[in-house]
Amino acid sequence: MKITCYECGREQKEAAYQCECGGMLEISHDFTGLDLEQLERTFRERLSERMTPYASGVWRYKELIHPELPDRYIVTKYEGNTGLYSADPIRRFLGIRQLWLKAQSENPSGSFKDNGMTVALSHGRSLGYRRFSCASTGNTSASLAMYAALAECESVVLVPSERVSANKVLQTLAYGARMVRFDGTYDDGIRFYERHGDELGLYICNSINPFRIEGQKSIVYELAQSLNWTLPDWIVIPGGALSNVTALGKGLNDLLRLGMIDRLPKVALVQAEGASPFHKMMAGAGEELVPESSPSTVASAMNIGNPPSWRKARDFLKASGGVTCSVTDEEILAAKRQIDGCGIGCEPASASTVAGVRKLIAERTIDKEETVACILTGNLLKDTDSLGMYADKKVGGSLEGSVGELTAEAVLERLGSPA
């Protein structure tokens, strides 16, 4: 395993997040010598592991993620192992032949961050760190605080004072994090760490830490394994800091290189219109990202104007024929209503995927005969404010008004006869 600069290629020391040239870091593995059949058998056999690190849907793939890490450093809550659903109401809503929803929202802290955080935090422990940190819109901080508490370590987090979900803030605090609220956005928090992280002696677990990306690759490994190593035509994913799409691309390239899949699916990256600097760059065929200083969307997890991983994301999407699009807050909430109402549920950022599929079908980029998997990144309870924001607030048809005396007849009168 080697850590190099994504920009200049220079090899790096272990604990760095950024090369001297300012470039992001990347981990590369030498997979030579790995026996494909043996690997597939191992990944299958580990599905029946219980209470060992290999019962995790991340560490099941340790050989492809962090082969050198001694097991004693692993901090796991058996993350991954999330549901893959074929939700008919959503499929009908989109009018598409086949749709899968991969619910990373079912992770232990309620978001896809756990896939990456277990690896970053475990690696930091192996380096001797006891104090872990991040800047966050709330999900990264909740995940970090949960794993740090499990490892009996400290967590220190920077969270903007506005435009974040109160649920995520409270969850982070409940796990014992020390929190600094500040005026600004996630982007300002990252800039602070790039300047001061080392001097503060903190181990930073944002996605500028390349071990986060290694862990997040497991999402697509697990998706591929669940579908017997045959991926759908499209994978659709939301984009904020762009760590998830970067990890998706890296994981897909690993699987192709190893011969575990025989073609790359197309990837669609969806941003919220009010925070879409990456989509604007891609749509305008530009090569350089122009940061947005005041990103603003109901999908608060994606209130990001200067995504650190944009170069990696751009290179993957361009090389693989991927696309980007943006959707409005209204479109996000309409899609969220469908996803919640079919019993799966998600937070607004995740719903942008289904909204994006709808738009890409309308634009004829996705054909209705193609197969699609959407990555649902965060849990419905992560943002309860957004539940009151549906255009039509009657989600399941709430019984408005009083039923008077509570009798079966009175309730039935309000409900009507069963369908």
CB of 312 to ligand LJ64HWYM, least distance (A): 12
Residue 303 interacts with ligand PLP (CB under 6 A): yes or no: no
Residues in the chain, overall count:
419
CB of 245 to ligand PLP, least distance (A): 6
CB of 240 to ligand PLP, least distance (A): 3
User: CA 247 to CA 373: how far, in whole Å?
Assistant: 16
Comparing CA positions, the residue from 139, 132, 131 lying closest to residue 111 is 139
Residue 302 interacts with ligand PLP (CB under 6 A): yes or no: yes
Residue 377 interacts with ligand PLP (CB under 6 A): yes or no: yes
Q: CA geometry: angle at 212 spanning 206 and 214, to 5°?
A: 160
Residue 378 interacts with ligand PLP (CB under 6 A): yes or no: yes
CB of 178 to ligand PLP, least distance (A): 21
Residue 377 binds: one of ligand LJ64HWYM, ligand PLP, none (C-beta under 5 to 8 A by kind): ligand PLP
CB distance 179 to 159 below 8 Å:
yes
CB of 351 to ligand LJ64HWYM, least distance (A): 14
CB of 292 to ligand LJ64HWYM, least distance (A): 15
Residue 240 interacts with ligand PLP (CB under 6 A): yes or no: yes
User: CA 185 to CA 168: how far, in whole Å?
Assistant: 15
Residue 185 interacts with ligand PLP (CB under 6 A): yes or no: no
Binder to ligand PLP among 80, 210, 232, 238 (CB under 6 A)?
238
- DSSP 3-state assignment of 375? strand
What are the C-alpha distances in Å from 280 to residues 247, 310, 323?
21, 12, 12
CB of 240 to ligand LJ64HWYM, least distance (A): 5
User: CA 213 to CA 159: how far, in whole Å?
Assistant: 21
CB atoms within 10 A of CB 44: 11
Give the nearer residue to ligand LJ64HWYM in terms of CB position, either 3 or 94.
Answer: 3
Binder to ligand PLP among 167, 243, 276, 303 (CB under 6 A)?
243
CB of 378 to ligand PLP, least distance (A): 3
Q: CA geometry: angle at 58 spanning 23 and 381, to 5°?
A: 90
Residues that bind ligand LJ64HWYM (CB under 6 A): 136-140, 186, 206-207, 240-241, 243, 301
Give the nearer residue to ligand LJ64HWYM in terms of CB position, either 222 or 383.
Answer: 383
CB distance 255 to 235 below 8 Å:
no
- DSSP 3-state assignment of 326? strand
Q: Which of residues 121-140 bind ligand PLP (CB under 6 A)?
A: 139
**Phi/psi at 369 (nearest 5 deg)?**
-85, -5
Query: Which residues does 227 contact at the CB level (< 8 Å), separation at least 6?
Result: 84, 100
What are the C-alpha distances in Å from 406 to residues 106, 119, 373, 410, 413?
36, 53, 45, 7, 11
Residue 96 interacts with ligand PLP (CB under 6 A): yes or no: no
Binder to ligand PLP among 82, 244, 326, 386 (CB under 6 A)?
244
Residue 238 binds: one of ligand PLP, ligand LJ64HWYM, none (C-beta under 5 to 8 A by kind): ligand PLP
Residue 297 binds: one of ligand PLP, ligand LJ64HWYM, none (C-beta under 5 to 8 A by kind): none
Give the nearer residue to ligand LJ64HWYM in terms of CB position, either 56 or 139.
Answer: 139
For strands 84-85 and 98-103, give the pairing. antiparallel
CB of 62 to ligand LJ64HWYM, least distance (A): 22
Comparing CA positions, the residue from 311, 312, 316, 218 lying closest to residue 266 is 316
Give the nearer residue to ligand PLP in terms of CB position, either 18 or 136.
Answer: 136
For strands 25-28 and 2-5, give the pairing. antiparallel
Residues that bind ligand PLP in the complex, under the rule CB under 6 A: 111, 139, 238-244, 301-302, 347, 349-350, 377-378
